[in-house]
Chain A
């Protein structure tokens, strides 16, 4: 299956390892992956700040880059949600995990990751894209990222006190409301530390970047990995396919 990769601007510039892991993972799962090189950003940073009306050029650039593909995949729930809601495409965009579970129909990835992992459910992935059931609703539980993580051999998924509270990143909120933003991040980390997380993971690098900034400042013993990095590192590829 041919997919076009959308790598959000901050991942491209600051977290290339997340882009690389996403690309390698999709290849290992049998996809042909292309990266349209004139891509930049989905326009969400402006739109969420109230400047949706100046995102026209961003939208057009995005469409020019991605309109020829049936499947566009991105390792970010937040950007994916923005594109779904604001940028009409000829094909369809998927967040990485939902692409794996819903389109590739992979329920379990064969692999091993021997760590205590804490999953940060980013809000846009969860409440926006419904990657997991939301704690506010009286509805049956499911979680696409948890399902993939739990099936890895040796992985111990940590149970949090508050399983889906926002980390406080929130785009420009993280600087405009610095005090609350940081406090929300600190509280999320305290929950993970209390419950034994060794590796903090999630589907959104923006949330992870914010929490990593606090982890490094406060010197917490937590390693941060995007879920694509965990899955890519853990996956066992049958030798015939290598």
Chain B
């Protein structure tokens, strides 16, 4: 294969629209069934956990209001957090975008070695779950500098070994079956061929990761909540890998999007009760690790990242998407996500929330995502911080059309439809033939290809329309 054609394929695969990727996903009927049922099971677990709390809806409302307050006072809370974090001995860094974030992280590693990273003895970094570093493509950036990043969350390690991005922000390898993981571990970790026993495979990963934890001097974690009042931050994991990494390393770097701030420590109770119940149906994550100051001899850094967030904060219709606590409840309930998989969203954060966040970062590349929804509204109902996700999907559609990110053919079809539907004279064609030729209705817009008919019969045109029937059968009525 020539270099050019290879580039073209890479280029095209990056541009694969959600609908095209979803079509490919759906070719495997049974796997789609399995994916849907697996995630729906998580949604049901969420329901069970949520409904055990009598005040669940009040809890959601409280969280929503706290986050609204944060969005309105972002500047002050961030400065308050920084002041307190500095007092605690944490070093703070501000990154305006992904590039700056990655450079800061590299700079911290480089400084640790006095500007001269020893190529022969340096073992790289261990990292616990951080979707922000996925958003910033940090692993790739550091790899180019010769620094290997080992993901220590089991699911993330699996997709990392498979050289894939996560397909879900809470369960990164939910699209993998245990047989396939057995195969992957056999290849990379030397487990027995054909062994798919989850306990055996997890133990193998544990031993493999233990070695990494013990030998790597730098650990990076994400941040679930940063408390302005105290300058501390909280990281929630089920595997304890954030603690293991941070406690064994000489340098702990925490990366956070600036919206992770909450005003006071007492507010943690609200969010910790909501987060795990919404995410997996657990009452709380196994570990809710509070980091306040470095231990003796350790460095603790926090990188506070903007990367488009202040732009989103300035978009009135979309700002409250920044309330998101990354529980992924909207993924699990979304009938489209469950039947198209996370990779079809071609964005670090997939699912309904990803579809309202991604266009802010790049409208052209993500113009398809707000259309990957039926606007059923289930996402907004499960959201623990009450983001009006489906309404923002609708609003993004308006913005994307007006900014010119839709194909001309669609605009022409819509204008044609609008003309027909706003002119009763044109609309009232009579008779069966007219209805058969009626090609301006929404389900027939693309009538040249007619995707409706691929797997569905067309409605059968009746002998007469309702209005014709009405004229004949309700003659005594006032004709308006």
Does A214 sit at the interface, judged by CB under 8 A? yes
Does B247 sit at the interface, judged by CB under 8 A? no
CB distance from B368 to the nearest CB of A (A): 9
Bound Cα distance from A209 to B40, whole angstroms: 26
Chain B residues, CB < 8 A from A11: 466
Bound Cα distance from A39 to B373, whole angstroms: 29
Does B291 sit at the interface, judged by CB under 8 A? no
Is there an interface contact between B464 and A16, defined as CB atoms closer than 8 Å?
yes
Bound Cα distance from A49 to B474, whole angstroms: 36
Closest B residue to A51 by CB, please name it: B414
Closest A residue to B401 by CB, please name it: A50
Q: Mark A41-53, 1 if CB is under 8 A from B, else 0.
A: 1010111111111
Does B441 sit at the interface, judged by CB under 8 A? yes
Helix, strand, loop or mixed for chain B's interface?
helix
Q: Which of A7, A47, A166 contacts B376 (CB 8 A)?
A: A166
Is there an interface contact between B374 and A123, defined as CB atoms closer than 8 Å?
yes
Does A145 sit at the interface, judged by CB under 8 A? no
Closest B residue to A171 by CB, please name it: B442
Bound Cα distance from A7 to B427, whole angstroms: 13
CB distance from B88 to the nearest CB of A (A): 38
Is there an interface contact between A58 and B442, defined as CB atoms closer than 8 Å?
no
Is there an interface contact between A127 and B418, defined as CB atoms closer than 8 Å?
no
User: Number of contacts between A and B (CB, 8 Å)?
Assistant: 241
Chain A residues, CB < 8 A from B469: 16, 19-20
Q: Select the stretch in B159-167, B170-178, B267-275, B331-339 that faces chain A.
A: B331-339
Interface hits, A20-52 → B, CB 8 Å: 20, 23, 34-41, 43, 45-52
CB distance from A233 to the nearest CB of B (A): 17
Q: A40-B424, A178-B455 are in contact. Are A14 and B340 (CB under 8 A)?
A: no
Is there an interface contact between A137 and B340, defined as CB atoms closer than 8 Å?
no
Q: Select the stretch in B15-23, B118-126, B147-155, B194-202 that faces chain A.
A: B15-23
Interface hits, B395-432 → A, CB 8 Å: 397-398, 400-402, 406, 410-411, 414-415, 417-418, 420-424, 427
Closest B residue to A37 by CB, please name it: B480
Q: A12-B467, A175-B446 are in contact. Are A213 and B456 (CB under 8 A)?
A: yes
Closest A residue to B333 by CB, please name it: A136
Chain B residues, CB < 8 A from A19: 466, 469-470
**B side interface size, CB within 8 A:** 83
Q: A20-B469, A136-B333, A179-B19 are in contact. Are A36 and B480 (CB under 8 A)?
A: yes
Does A169 sit at the interface, judged by CB under 8 A? yes
Bound Cα distance from A172 to B461, whole angstroms: 20
Is there an interface contact between A14 and B452, defined as CB atoms closer than 8 Å?
no
Q: Select the stretch in A97-105, A111-119, A148-156, A182-190 that faces chain B.
A: A182-190
Bound Cα distance from A53 to B36, whole angstroms: 36
Is there an interface contact between B47 and A136, defined as CB atoms closer than 8 Å?
yes
CB distance from B179 to the nearest CB of A (A): 24
Interface hits, A62-78 → B, CB 8 Å: 65
Does A142 sit at the interface, judged by CB under 8 A? no
CB distance from A97 to the nearest CB of B (A): 18
Extra inter-chain contacts (7) besides given A138-B51, A175-B451, A214-B455, CB under 8 Å: A17-B462, A37-B470, A162-B40, A177-B371, A185-B456, A187-B36, A213-B456
Question: What are the 4 tightest A-B residue pairs by CB atom distance, in nearest-first order?
Answer: A170-B374, A213-B456, A57-B422, A50-B401
Can you give 15 A-B contacts (C-beta < 8 A)? A9-B441, A15-B459, A16-B465, A20-B469, A34-B478, A35-B474, A40-B420, A40-B423, A123-B374, A166-B378, A171-B374, A173-B373, A174-B452, A185-B456, A213-B456
Question: Which residues of B approach A to under 8 Å, CB–CB?
Answer: 18-19, 22-23, 25-26, 32, 36, 40, 47, 50-51, 53-54, 56-57, 333, 335-336, 339-340, 371-378, 380-382, 394, 397-398, 400-402, 406, 410-411, 414-415, 417-418, 420-424, 427, 435, 438, 441-446, 451-452, 454-462, 464-471, 474, 477-480
